Amino acid sequence: MAAQFLSLSSSPTSDGIHVFWHEGMLKHDTGIGVFDSGIDPGFLEVLEKHPENPDRVRNMLSILKKGPLSPHISWHSGRPALISELLTFHTSGYINELVEADRNGGKMICAGTFLNSGSWEAALLAAGTTLSAMKHILDGHGKIAYALVRPPGHHAQPTQADGYCFLNNTGLAVQLALDSGCKKVAVIDIDVHYGNGTAEGFYQSDKVLAISLHMNHGSWGPSHPQSGSVDELGVGDGFGYNLNIPLPNGTGDRGYEIAMTELVVPAVQKFQPDMMVLVVGQDSSAFDPNGRQCLTMEGYREIGRKIRSLSDTHTGGRLLIVQEGGYHVTYSAYCLHATLEGVLNLPLPLLPDPIAYYPEDEAFATEVIGSIKRYHRDIVPFLKGA
C-alpha cells in the first residue's frame, strides 16, 4: 500500500492522506436497545444496535482500504493516550471519574453514553490516535492526516462526558498543536451536532477559532447545557472566536455550500490560522438516523474541496481531519469517501452516490445564513466588514 501511495504521489508529504487507525477502538461495545437508550421495553421483537457501534467504523475502514481512494491513502497505527496527555484538555477530577467507572466494570455516564468493559481502552486509543495524527503533521511527515477514531469526542467537555463522547480527541490535538508552536488553529466542525465540548475547551481563547455548523437542536440536558446558538461567541479574549452556525433542518448540499462560502471562508481568511482541523460527522447526511440536514455525497465532496483550498492558502496545506458521528452504516462510509475525494481535489468523483437524488430547496437556509452573516458583522470584532 505504501509503495502504491508513493508511486502515485509526486510529493508524498502533500498529495495523499495519512490515515491513523487502531483495531482496539472496535472493542467499545455500546450495546443494544431502543435506538441509543440501552433499554429493552419488552415488546419489540428486534432491538437494534446503539447507533455508535463498531459496524459504522468497520465500513469506513474498509471503504478506505478497498475503495477507489485506496491508492491515495497511507496507513499508520494509532496508540493509547497517556493520562498526562488527557490533562492538557480535561480536569483530573473528570478523568478520575472515568478511570473509576472503568475499574468498576463500567456504567452509563450520561444519556446514551455507555462506558462498558473495553470502552475506556478504546477511548484512550481514540485520543492517542488523534494525537499521533496531529504529531505526524507537526513533525512534517505529512500534510493531511485523518484520525479514524471512535468513540467520538466533540461533545466531551473538560469536566463532562456527553453524547457518546468521553475524551475530546480534537481538543487534545488542538492543544498539542498550540503547545508545539502553532499560533492559531481553526477548527471547522461539520458533524450535525454542536461541537460543544471543543467550544467549551477553548471558549476563552483567541488562539482557536472554533466554527460549528450544526442542526438547530439546542441544549439537550445537563450533559449538554450549551445551546449552539449564534450568541454563544466565547468570553474574554475568546469573544468572537466561537462561531456557531445553527442551520435549519433540510439545509442540504447547496445550503452548506452557501454557509461555507458566506460564513466559514471569510472567518478563516480573517483569522489566518497556521493549522486547520476539519471535524467530520456524516450524521449531517440525508439518511442519518440522528440528523436532518440532508447532505449528499456531493455536498461532502464540495466541503472537502473548500477546506482543502483554505488549508492550502493559510496553513501551507496542513490539515488534520478527525472522525466524529455518522450513523448510517453504509452511507456514512460513502460520505466519508466523498469528503476525502474533495480534500484531495480529485477532478472527477470516484464513487457514484448509491442513494437516489434527494430534492432540496435552499431558500430558507439562504435566508438564515444571511441573517447569521449580518449578526457576525455587527457583533464580532474581527469580522467587522468581512
The residues binding Zn ion (CB under 5 A) are 191, 193, 281, 283, 325
Q: CB within 8 A of 7, min separation 6: which ones?
A: none
Using alpha carbons only, what angle is made at residue 355 by residues 354 and 360, rounded to the nearest 5 degrees? 135
Shortest gap between Cβ of 324 and Zn ion (angstroms)? 6
CB-wise, 152 or 240, nearer to Zn ion?
152
Q: Which residue minimizes CB distance to Zn ion?
A: 325
The residue among 191 and 232 lying less far from Zn ion, judged by its C-beta, is 191
Least distance between Zn ion and beta carbon 327 (Å) = 8
Comparison of 102 and 191: residue with beta carbon closer to Zn ion:
191
Q: How far is the CB of 292 from Zn ion (least distance, A)?
A: 12
Beta carbon of residue 215, minimum distance to Zn ion (angstroms, whole number): 9
Residue 200 or 283 with smaller CB distance to Zn ion: 283
- In whole angstroms, the minimum distance from the beta carbon of 147 to Zn ion comes to 16
28 in catalytic set:
no
Q: Which is nearer to Zn ion, 155 or 314 (CB)?
A: 155
From 18, 50, 72, 155, the catalytic residue: 155
The catalytic residues are 155
